[in-house]
A = this chain, B = another copy of it.
Amino acid sequence: MNNYPEIITNLIQHLKKLPGIGEKTAMRLTFHLLNSDENFVSSLGNLIINLKQKIKLCKICYNFTEKEICNICSNPNRDKTIICIVEDVNDMINIESTGKFNGLYHILHGVFSPISGITFENIKIKELFERVKNSKNLKEIIIATNPTAEGNATAVYIKDNIEKINKNIKITRIAVGIPQGAELEYIDKITLSKALENRLTFKN
């Protein structure tokens, strides 16, 4: 490493700190950038610098946004009587891609995880309860945290607290079942039990 100019060594050190990038990949990326078009490289650098400066969290749902309120919360066509609670922004993006949900979101930015040291303080859960308190006409809350131990624990906690705030809100949980196209033979027992338990009247 000693023979690279300082800026190359520094860039490699920085890239190595990113997830999934080791020393070899960091070197390959650095040399690729050295041989890339100058406009592309400076535009990449500027995007990275501006990212942290321009991106804020929406004051309502904590989605990433360049404005005070995100595009979804400020869209007058969205149904404001229903809120879907998700763990992070990518979960929201994936739900949006289905085109099946026209309500609002609340992004927790994590779930309780005693092992990783993530508690109530680290996620947007007090903000959720405040939002529910101040929301009029709220009819349903869908809890769409992942069906993992942490996601389920967080879901139970949210349900208990929202019931205390307002008994008239319907609280639902996203369905656990066998994924489309999967084979029963290879499905784990818990998913299979849940899929049986959650069975619905068959419709063609």
Residues of A within 8 A of B (CB): 1, 3-8, 10-11, 14-15, 17-20, 25, 27-34, 36, 38, 40-52, 54-55, 64-66, 71-72, 88-90, 92-93, 96
CB neighbours (8 Å) of A55 from chain B are 5, 7-8, 34
Question: Cβ of A38 and Cβ of B52 under 8 Å apart?
Answer: yes
Question: Cβ of A20 and Cβ of B14 under 8 Å apart?
Answer: no
Question: Cβ of A34 and Cβ of B51 under 8 Å apart?
Answer: yes
State the copy count for this chain. Answer: 2
- The one of B31, B65, B66 that contacts A89, using a Cβ cutoff of 8 Å: B31
Question: Cβ of B45 and Cβ of A4 under 8 Å apart?
Answer: no
Name the residue of chain B whose CB is nearest to the CB of A95.
B3
Question: Cβ of B51 and Cβ of A30 under 8 Å apart?
Answer: yes
CB neighbours (8 Å) of A18 from chain B are 29, 32-33
SS class of chain A's interface: helix, strand, loop or mixed? helix
CB neighbours (8 Å) of A47 from chain B are 7, 10-11, 14, 45
Q: How far is the CA of A123 from the CA of B29 in the complex (A)?
A: 21
Q: How far is the CA of A43 from the CA of B7 in the complex (A)?
A: 11
Q: How far is the CA of A18 from the CA of B66 in the complex (A)?
A: 25
CB neighbours (8 Å) of A42 from chain B are 48-49, 52
Question: Cβ of B44 and Cβ of A48 under 8 Å apart?
Answer: yes
- The one of B7, B38, B52 that contacts A41, using a Cβ cutoff of 8 Å: B52
CB neighbours (8 Å) of A5 from chain B are 54-55, 64-66
**Min CB gap A56→B, angstroms:** 9
Question: Cβ of B90 and Cβ of A48 under 8 Å apart?
Answer: no
Q: How far is the CA of A54 from the CA of B3 in the complex (A)?
A: 16
Q: Can you list 13 A-B pairs with a CB-CB distance of less than 8 A?
A: A5-B55, A7-B55, A10-B47, A14-B43, A14-B47, A19-B29, A27-B90, A31-B88, A31-B90, A33-B48, A45-B46, A45-B48, A46-B49
CB neighbours (8 Å) of A43 from chain B are 14
**Min CB gap A176→B, angstroms:** 24
